[in-house]
């Protein structure tokens, strides 16, 4: 602010001086000098993009049960929290916050906004469902069209992706999904606007490779606090029912104190998962499932932090799932799933 004030005074001074008798050439030289000074000062004070190396992480745990170390033993090897990758995502989040934008979420949970049309090139995947060439399924998918072709969709977007809203064009909305990149048209029925007042101060990181989960909270620009570090179990590839937890940058969309699930291949209730926070399709962060006919809460399972076992969801110790359930606000929390 001091430098801006100085620029203002300097400009005013030069303007006054230019009123004294001078040749046109002298006046032009003074104006050029002031312009260069102001331009250099503005460039100097302009906000620079935050880099991963600018991110500071401090451990101030709010949840301290089942806590893992930065690096910890697993069988005959070790696993760890990928802090450098986490810093990369946090730098992205910091830079997103700096640029004014209207944010939205791609949404089509259980095809509630309509079955997506066929894309130009599609296939049947291992689950016998239609998918684009990148493996994103039509079911619960969002059709994305090239900006010069709104007749046939090019690909599908994942439910829950954080997306920049670039304005409406007739029946379409121009969007930029952060994880996918590029500008696309999506039918407006698949778009949910996020209020302008929302800022993304809380983030959850799910690591499919190391089978762990971390929660972080923004203290100030470039400074994030680690709130928990726990084992988790992600989704496995096991057609026709279980699927991998998808990679991406998602928005926490809804919460259920008890998420009821069905038995594989049946309409019968299979049980419930406690403290479920949904971020993509049927993908939830939740506690240890209780299989019917049991009704009690299970705190922990020896399978947590081992290998993928879920049906797409991210299993946690139940008390940790409750911590996230209480701590993370809907529409304001980003869920990063990384490899």
Q: And the tokens for 133?
A: 């060439």
Residue 313 among the catalytic residues? yes
Tell me, rounded to whole angstroms, the distance of Cα 329 from its chain centroid: 13
Contact by Cβ (8 Å): 253, 330:
yes
Q: How far is CA 171 from CA 6, 148, 180, in A?
A: 50, 15, 22
| Residue 37: Cβ-neighbour burial (10 angstroms; 0-12, 13-18, 19+) | middle
Q: Which of 104, 165, 313, 320 does the annotation list as catalytic?
A: 313
Which residue in the list 165, 286, 311, 320 is annotated as catalytic? 286
Q: Which residues of 277-301 are buried (b: 16+ CB within 10 A; e: fewer)?
A: bbbbbbbbbbbbbbeeeeeeeeebb
Q: Is 19 a residue of the active site?
A: no
Q: What is the DSSP string of 223-238?
A: EEEEEEEEE-B-B--B
Q: What is d(CA 331, CA 310) in angstroms, rounded to the nearest whole number?
A: 24
Catalytic positions, written as ranges:
286, 313
């Amino acid at each position: 602010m001091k430098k801006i004030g100085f620029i203002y005074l300097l400009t005013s001074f030069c303007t006054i001086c230019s009123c004294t008798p001078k040749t046109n050439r002298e006046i032009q030289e003074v104006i050029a000098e002031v312009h260069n000074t102001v331009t250099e000062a503005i460039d100097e004070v302009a906000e620079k993009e935050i880099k991963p190396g600018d991110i500071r992480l401090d451990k101030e745990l709010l949840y301290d049960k089942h806590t893992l170390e930065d690096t910890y033993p697993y069988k005959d090897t070790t696993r760890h929290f990928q802090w450098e990758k986490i810093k990369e995502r946090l730098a992205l989040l910091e830079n997103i916050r700096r640029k004014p934008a209207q944010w939205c979420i791609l949404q089509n949970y259980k095809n509630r906004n309509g079955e997506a049309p066929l894309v130009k090139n599609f296939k049947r995947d291992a689950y016998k469902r239609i998918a684009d060439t990148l493996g994103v399924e039509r079911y619960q998918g969002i059709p994305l069209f090239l900006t010069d072709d709104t007749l046939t969709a090019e690909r599908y977007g994942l439910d829950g992706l954080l997306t920049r809203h670039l304005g409406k064009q007739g029946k379409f909305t121009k969007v930029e999904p952060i994880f996918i990149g590029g500008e696309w048209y999506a039918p407006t029925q698949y778009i949910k606007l996020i209020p302008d007042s929302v800022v993304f101060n809380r983030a959850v990181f799910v690591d499919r490779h190391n089978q762990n989960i971390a929660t972080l909270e923004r203290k100030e620009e470039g400074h994030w606090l680690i709130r928990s570090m726990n084992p988790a179990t992600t989704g496995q590839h096991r057609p026709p029912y279980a699927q991998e937890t998808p990679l991406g940058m998602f928005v926490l969309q809804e919460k259920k104190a008890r998420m009821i699930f069905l038995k594989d291949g049946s309409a019968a209730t299979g049980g419930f998962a406690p403290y479920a926070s949904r971020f993509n399709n049927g993908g939830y962060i939740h506690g240890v499932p209780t299989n019917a006919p049991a009704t009690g809460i299970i705190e922990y399972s020896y399978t947590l932090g081992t290998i993928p076992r879920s049906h797409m969801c991210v299993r946690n110790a139940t008390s940790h799932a409750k911590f996230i359930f209480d701590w993370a606000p809907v529409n304001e929390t980003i869920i990063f799933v990384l490899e």
